[in-house]
Amino acid sequence: MRVTNGMMTNNLLKNLSDNMERLDKFNRQLSTGKKFDMPSQDPTGVVTSMGLKSTLNSNEQYIDNIDQALTWTSTTENALKNATKTLQRTRELAVYGANDSLSDSDRNAIADEVEQLREGLTEVANTDYNGRYIFAGYKTTTEPYPTADSNYQGDNGAIDREITRGVEMKINQDGAFFKGVFDEMKDLVTDLRNGNGDAISNTRIGNLDKKLNKVLRLRSEIGAKQNRLELTKSRLDEDKIKFKKLLSKNEDVDIAETIMNLKMSENVHRAALSSGARIIQPSLMQFLK
């Protein structure tokens, strides 16, 4: 095939254009730190990045949900712990108050303390987190027990949080059970003031034990949920690190390698310019002759 000066010039210009594109590519990668910044530069890489970013965003949301759930359940656990202490003290007073040797004055003093414990328990039942009542079911803006003698004002609605894809957890506990505790403590006060030691021994103490066991079961359930939340969060944190590494591998340039590629491209470009000058100059002189 006959190679003409025009063909050589066209090839030279094409090669110079390709070199300039490579120089621009490496310069852009060094300035942005990314392998691509437009979909057309690497369609497959862009799709991969979009998938990884979507996964990371979901991961972040699950972690946020778990943090909310942990705070909510921790607040619930602390409240139930206080309720446990209240019931334990109430039971101690009931055992003491069942003693037939006590005077009316002694029993009235015990009854006064139980009444104070009962009033204090309303504060526990009305515990709030961030302005939301934790024992009100779904009616978190409604105070569950305005007084110790009130009926339960909340509902049994569940507050759920998605802790991983397709998995939701109920994080709240309704406070309907407090009503039974309040009533039992009120009956204990009545028996104490009436000097009814047999009722305290045969009924009140046993009923208080049932209420106490109910609270302890709830605490156990909350604790199990907290353990599960902690384990799930730990796994999500590990996944977050893994996906970020994959995203970095897919998007971020190797600076040292890119600098080397840039220098090589610069050398190739200079060589092309040098050889091109030798090709074009004689051809131009011949044309002028």
Asked whether the beta carbons of 50 and 41 are under 8 A apart, the reply is: no
Eight-state DSSP code of residue 176: T
Phi, psi for residue 74 in degrees, rounded to 5: -65, -40
Q: How far apart are CA 237 and CA 230, in angstroms?
A: 10
Q: How far apart are CA 283 and CA 6, in angstroms?
A: 9
Q: Which of 279, 272, 271 is nearest to 7 (CA)?
A: 279
Q: For the chain, what percent of residues have pLDDT higher than 70?
A: 72
Per-domain boundaries in the chain: 49-248, 253-288
Instruction: For 225-273, write each residue's pLDDT tens digit.
Output: 999 999 999 999 999 999 888 877 766 665 666 567 656 766 665 666 6
DSSP reduced 3-state for 136: coil
Instruction: For 137-181, write each residue's pLDDT tens digit.
Output: 999 999 999 999 999 999 999 999 999 999 999 999 999 999 999
CA distances from 216 to 77, 93, 212, 221 (A): 10, 19, 6, 9
| Amino acid letter, 87 | L
DSSP reduced 3-state for 113: helix
pLDDT reported for residue 217: 97
Q: Which residue has the higher pLDDT, 200 or 100?
A: 200
Q: Which of 62, 71, 61 is nearest to 172 (CA)?
A: 71
CATH of 49-248, one of 3.40.50.700, 3.40.190.10, 1.20.1330.10, 1.20.120.1770: 1.20.1330.10
Mean pLDDT check: name the lowest of 38-42, 89-93, 186-190. Answer: 38-42
| pLDDT classification of 47: cutoffs 50, 70, 90 | confident
CA distances from 17 to 35, 37, 66 (A): 20, 21, 54
DSSP reduced 3-state for 163: strand
pLDDT reported for residue 209: 97
Instruction: For 197-229, write each residue's pLDDT tens digit.
Output: 999 999 999 999 999 999 999 999 999 999 999
DSSP reduced 3-state for 81: helix
Asked whether the beta carbons of 236 and 55 are under 8 A apart, the reply is: no
